[in-house]
């Protein structure tokens, strides 16, 4: 379903069809649902079975719109299939989201990010733009991700984590952190400009990460220091905590078959 002209329209939605504005060159799958009081700006596409809840803004124009509205062209915004974007989310233009993207309430995603499949952003998450996120990346509530960050697959970021990109502010050359696959970042941690965190890492509560972390390492403290190899955690009790996919499967692609079998393609 394509809407070449702007204006208020009526869709076959399960909401109340109040105050829905759709801009130019907008493509909305016939099975998508759009809530009340939503604004869908120019050059947005929304995939099959996606739901945009009440009071959302999708394709928010960039700053050039306000300085030269006559010549401004809104960058394309792509939302894949089976998305669930909850109320009061604001998603700027120029973003690309894979399938099964979801958010909590009052999420802000600034321009020019790329998200893989099955990503989730918790309530009050703030994504500042120009960043890349892998598949099954999840943030909890009140997470701030700075510009020019890179986050891998199956990374979980817990409440009040902050990524920074400027060692000596202000700067015109920001460099965000890079986080490898399967890493867990606990509450209130801060990742500093340009740090590189390996895969299967664990960052402790309240840690300040100002140095690179090798694969399978556990860092904690302020400033954070190497504590141990994550694979050693729980060994004294005869338990295996990490790698965590061996003991956790809810919502993961290996649910019901086990992580090791999934890796083998079974």
Query: Please, what are the domains in the chain?
Result: 2-238 (2.160.10.10)
Q: Are 118 and 100 in contact (CB under 8 A)?
A: yes
- In this prediction the pTM is 0.93
- Taking only the tens of pLDDT, the chain with its 266 residues reads 555 554 445 555 556 667 889 999 999 998 999 999 999 999 999 999 999 999 999 999 999 999 998 899 999 999 999 999 999 999 999 999 999 999 999 999 999 999 999 999 999 999 999 999 999 999 999 999 999 999 999 999 999 999 999 999 998 889 999 999 999 999 999 999 999 999 999 999 999 999 999 999 999 999 999 999 999 998 878 888 999 999 999 999 999 999 999 999 85
CA distance 19 to 2: 19
Residue 156 burial (10 A CB sphere; 0-12, 13-18, 19+): middle
CA distance 47 to 78: 8
Q: Of the candidates 4, 15, 96, which has an alpha carbon nearest to the alpha carbon of residue 53?
A: 15
Q: Of the candidates 69, 27, 34, which has an alpha carbon nearest to the alpha carbon of residue 52?
A: 34
């Amino acid at each position: 379903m394509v809407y070449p002209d702007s204006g208020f329209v009526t869709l076959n939605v399960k909401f109340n069809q109040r105050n829905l504005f759709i801009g130019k060159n907008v493509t909305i799958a016939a099975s998508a649902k759009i809530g009340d009081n939503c604004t869908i700006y120019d050059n947005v596409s929304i995939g099959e079975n996606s739901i945009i809840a009440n009071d959302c803004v999708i394709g928010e124009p960039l700053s050039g719109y306000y300085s030269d509205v006559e010549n401004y062209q809104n960058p394309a915004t792509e939302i894949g299939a089976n998305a669930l974007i909850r109320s009061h989310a604001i998603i700027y233009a120029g973003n690309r989201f894979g399938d099964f993207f979801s958010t909590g309430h009052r999420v802000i995603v600034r321009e020019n990010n790329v998200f893989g499949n099955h990503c989730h952003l918790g309530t009050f998450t703030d994504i500042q733009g120009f960043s890349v996120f892998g598949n099954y990346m999840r943030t909890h509530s009140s997470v701030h991700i700075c510009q020019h960050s890179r986050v891998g697959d199956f990374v979980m970021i817990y409440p009040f984590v902050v990524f920074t990109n400027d060692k000596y502010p202000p700067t015109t050359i920001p460099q965000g952190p890079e986080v490898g696959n399967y890493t867990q970042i606990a509450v209130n941690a801060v990742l500093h400009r340009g740090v590189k965190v390996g895969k299967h890492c664990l960052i402790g509560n309240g840690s300040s990460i100002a140095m690179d972390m090798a694969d399978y390492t556990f860092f904690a403290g302020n400033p954070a220091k190497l504590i141990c190899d994550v694979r050693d955690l729980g060994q004294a009790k005869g338990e295996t905590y990490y790698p965590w996919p061996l003991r956790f499967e809810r919502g993961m692609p290996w649910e019901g078959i086990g992580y090791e079998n999934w890796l083998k393609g079974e």
